[in-house]
Amino acid sequence: MYDVVLLALGSERDAPGGCGSGGACCGGATGDGATAGQGATGDGATAGHGAADDGTAAGQCAAGDGTTAGQSAAADARPERCETPRVPVLACADALTARGARVETVTARSDAEIDEVLARLDGPPRPDGLTWPDPDSKTRLVVATASDAQLRAVLRRLVRRYAPPPSRRPDDLAANRTVPDLPPVAVLPLDPARSTGHRDLAAQLGLPRDPAAVADAVLDGTPRRLDLLRNDGGSVTLDGALLGAADDAGRPLHWRGRVEVDDTVLSHGDEPLLACAVGNAGGYATLDGVALLGRPDPTDGVVEVAVAVPVVARSTFGRKRVRLEVRRARGRAVSVLPRDEKVPFLDDGVEGELSRKRSWWTEPGAWAVWAV
């Protein structure tokens, strides 16, 4: 039978330092700008300085959450807190236990605490000294997520753990990848009813939301491998990114930037843009009813990119009319170079500001989810 770690991300807003940037930990700082016509919350970090990757999930008491011995000393140094486990976490743990699994629930409040959990997925030592995932691991990981940003926070740490330095690239790493096959994870949404209109990644992938069904996927399912986007800012993207902004009245603001997909230039940076969508999946496929991405597919090995360009035309009677031109391209990599000082963006629901060139590239089949 399997050992199952049920990982939730907790809040550590008052602690010094922590994961992410600007002292933000897994709770993240809260951004207050509206991005690409949306008012999502995130970390407000600039792209040049990185971004915290998550929101806040409920966990357990710091002294009683199944932490390892290495974590207990750090927990003793923190003020005592008690975060009650969310109902889906308890229900999933009960379902796994009823099936005979050995279950441990862990609440991580920093990158270091996430890393301590991920270390359980390590394989045996390699002759080259690289840390590598165990393809035959009997430990399975369930990530309880209140948002796609929290899932991204865990995947970001998986990539940091297992991606080899370029100077030590092993021969057994696929030519089109910079990371090995990452260990599969199960996704436990903390809002099974999903009352909002936004379709998160679990919904897009058709993953179960019921805790008992998630437990079945962990124990009986098979890995479904998915593409991952890495970027030169050191983070990852699971769903997609949306660049652009809106004013207080919700009207899109123009910005300029050079957008390239492989050798295709969608914008040279000398014309106004309303939005740019970078899609691995379909979370940012539409904006205010306008179809940006055509067929984003997180299993096809490419990234789909679109820019929305306002074009002024004149009617037969000389009246000006503005239409929206959407340009699309698909490829292995995309780069965006802002011509304006800062361009707001959302990346897997996390806010940031792009102040210099940012590149994303696809890692085909790099990560996986447990699915039935």
Q: Do domains 3-227+366-371 and 240-365 have the same CATH topology?
A: no
**Contact by Cβ (8 Å): 278, 308:** no
Torsion angle defined by CA atoms of residues 19, 279, 264 and 173, in that order, rounded to the nearest 10 degrees: 60
CATH number of the 3-227+366-371 domain: 3.40.50.10330
What is the distance between the terminal CA atoms of the chain, rounded to a whole angstrom?
Answer: 18
Rounded CA-CA distance 335/127 in Å is 36
Q: Is the per-residue pLDDT at 220 higher than 90?
A: yes
- DSSP single-letter state for residue 153: H
Rounded CA-CA distance 298/295 in Å is 10
Q: What confidence category does residue 192 fall into, taking pLDDT thresholds of 50, 70 and 90?
A: low
Domain regions of the chain by residue span: 3-227+366-371, 240-365
- Mean per-residue pLDDT of the chain: 83
- DSSP single-letter state for residue 82: -
Rounded CA-CA distance 219/207 in Å is 14
Q: What confidence category does residue 321 fall into, taking pLDDT thresholds of 50, 70 and 90?
A: confident
Q: What is the pLDDT of residues 285-296, one digit of tens each?
A: 998 888 999 989
Q: What confidence category does residue 340 fall into, taking pLDDT thresholds of 50, 70 and 90?
A: confident
Rounded CA-CA distance 309/311 in Å is 6
Q: Is the per-residue pLDDT at 206 higher than 90?
A: yes
Q: What confidence category does residue 81 fall into, taking pLDDT thresholds of 50, 70 and 90?
A: very low
Distance of CA 367 to the CA centre of its chain: 12
Count the Cβ atoms, other than its own, within 10 Å of residue 47. 24
Q: What confidence category does residue 198 fall into, taking pLDDT thresholds of 50, 70 and 90?
A: low
Answer CATH for 240-365 from 3.20.20.140, 2.30.38.10, 2.60.200.40, 2.60.40.3470: 2.60.200.40
In the predicted model, what is the mean pLDDT of residues 167-190? 97
Distances from the Cα of 297 to the Cα of 11, 202, 206, angstroms:
33, 14, 13
Give me the residues paired with residue 142 across strands. Answer: 6, 186
In the predicted model, what is the mean pLDDT of residues 292-312? 95
Q: What integer pLDDT is reported at residue 42 of this predicted model? A: 34
Look at the alpha carbons of 44, 49, 55, 60 in this order and tell me if their dihedral is positive or negative.
negative
DSSP 3-state of 118: helix
**Contact by Cβ (8 Å): 115, 18:** no
The identity of residue 26, as a single letter, is C
- DSSP single-letter state for residue 48: G
**Contact by Cβ (8 Å): 66, 275:** no
Torsion angle defined by CA atoms of residues 53, 297, 181 and 25, in that order, rounded to the nearest 10 degrees: 0
